[in-house]
Amino acid sequence: MGGTRFVFPEHQNTLSLEVKNTSSLPFLIKTQITADSGEVPFIATPPLFALEAGHENAVRIIRTDGSLPDDRESLFYISIAAIPSGKPQSHSLQVAVRSRFKLFYRPDALQANARTAYQQITWQLGVNGLVLNNPRRITLR
């Protein structure tokens, strides 16, 4: 994968990610978009594909339906499982790995503020330690 966090801007229809197999063995790749709670208005395609050794494939994240808040980012997860293919040889161990990456849905209303929002945060030394003040109170869903 090309990162650990991905941002899906509201004005885009899709987001493409590259999945690369750097090993010498082929894998079966399963992709899925999940959330901690509620419905997920995204799908990952292809949901299941074979990835040969040394090759890469694009996974597209597509927004389907559903309303999302336009005053804050929403958090989802990209789940990618890499399952070894073939029969294990004697005295060998095959391991399937599932990775989970953060997917942020960013409304267009936040685009202009995202680059400068950190400048509004103030720091003060208080009696009990450091006090952080975020006047915008931007929260994740």
Quickly name the fold that domain 5-115 has.
Answer: Immunoglobulin-like (2.60.40)
The pTM for the full model equals: 0.76
Domain-by-domain residue ranges, the chain? 5-115
* Gap between the Cα atoms of 80 and 100, Å rounded: 6
Bridge partners of 59?
Answer: 17
What is the mean pLDDT, run by run of 10 residues, along the chain of 141 residues?
86 91 90 91 94 93 87 91 83 87 88 67 87 66 40
| DSSP 3-state of 111 | helix
User: Do 120 and 135 meet the contact criterion of CB atoms below 8 Å apart?
Assistant: yes
Q: How far is CA 62 from each of CA 31, 40, 51, 67, 141, rounded to the nearest angstrom?
A: 12, 11, 21, 14, 19
Amino acid identity of 18?
Answer: E
Query: Cα angle vertex 33, ends 97, 59, to 5°?
Result: 75
Query: Cα angle vertex 104, ends 23, 44, to 5°?
Result: 50
The reported pLDDT for the residue numbered 136 is: 62
- Residue 74: which of 44, 38, 49, 100 has the closest Cα? 38
The reported pLDDT for the residue numbered 58 is: 93
The reported pLDDT for the residue numbered 140 is: 44
